[in-house]
Amino acid sequence: MKITWNEERCCGSGQCVLAAPDLFDQREEDGLAVLLHPYPEAEQHASAREAALVCPGRAISIEGSP
Amino acid sequence: MDKIVIVGASAAGISAADALRQRGFTGRITLLGSESHLPYDRPPLSKQLLSGQWEPERLRLRSAEQLTELDLNLRLGATATGLDPHRREIVLAEGEPVDYDGLIIATGAAPRRLPGGDLAGVHYLRTLDDALALRSRMRPESRMVVIGAGFIGAEAAAVARDIGLSVTMVDPAAAPMLRAFGKSVAELLAALHVDRGVDLRCGTGASSLISERGAVTGVVLDTGERIPADVVVVGIGAIPNTGWLAGSGLLSDGRLDCDEYCAVASGVYAAGDVASWFNPLFGTRMRVEHRTSAAEHARAAATNLLAAPADRRPFASVPYFWTDQYDLKVQAWGHFDESCDLAVRHGDLSERKFVAVYGRDGRVVGAIGAGMPKQLREARSLIVEKAEFPG
Give, in degrees to the nearest 5, the angle at Cα B264 between B318 and B152. 50
A21 touches chain B (CB under 8 A): no
- CB of A48 within 8 Å of a chain B CB? The answer is no
Q: What does the pLDDT profile of chain A (66 residues) look like in tens digits?
A: 999 999 988 988 899 999 999 999 999 888 899 999 999 999 999 999 989 988 988 899 998 765
Q: How far is B224 from chain A (nearest CA, A)?
A: 42
Question: One-letter amino acid identity for B357?
Answer: V
Q: Provide CB contacts within 8 A for B195, sequence distance 6+.
A: none
Whether B331 sits inside 8 A of A13 (CB atoms) is yes
0.90 cut: is pTM over it? yes
Q: Which residues lie below 8 Å from residue B47, measured CB to CB, with a gap of 6+?
A: B155, B159, B324
Q: Are the beta carbons of B90 and B7 closer than 8 angstroms?
A: yes
Per-residue pLDDT of chain B (391 residues; tens, 9 = 90+): 999 999 999 999 999 999 999 999 999 999 999 999 999 999 999 999 999 999 999 999 999 999 999 999 999 999 999 999 999 999 999 999 999 999 999 999 999 999 988 999 999 999 999 999 999 999 999 999 999 999 999 999 999 999 999 999 999 999 999 999 999 999 999 999 999 999 999 999 999 999 999 999 999 999 999 999 999 999 999 999 999 999 999 999 999 999 999 999 999 999 999 999 999 999 999 999 999 999 999 999 999 999 999 999 999 999 999 999 999 999 999 999 999 999 999 999 999 999 999 999 999 999 999 999 889 999 999 999 999 999 8
CA B307, CA B302: separation in Å to the nearest integer? 9
Q: For A31-43, how does the pLDDT look when each residue is reduced to its tens digit (9 = 90+)?
A: 899 999 999 999 9
Under an 8 A CB cutoff, do A14 and B292 touch? no
- CB distance B299–A13 less than 8 Å? no
For residue B307, how many C-alpha atoms fall within 13 Å in the half-sphere facing its CB?
17
Distance CA B278, CA B286 (A): 6
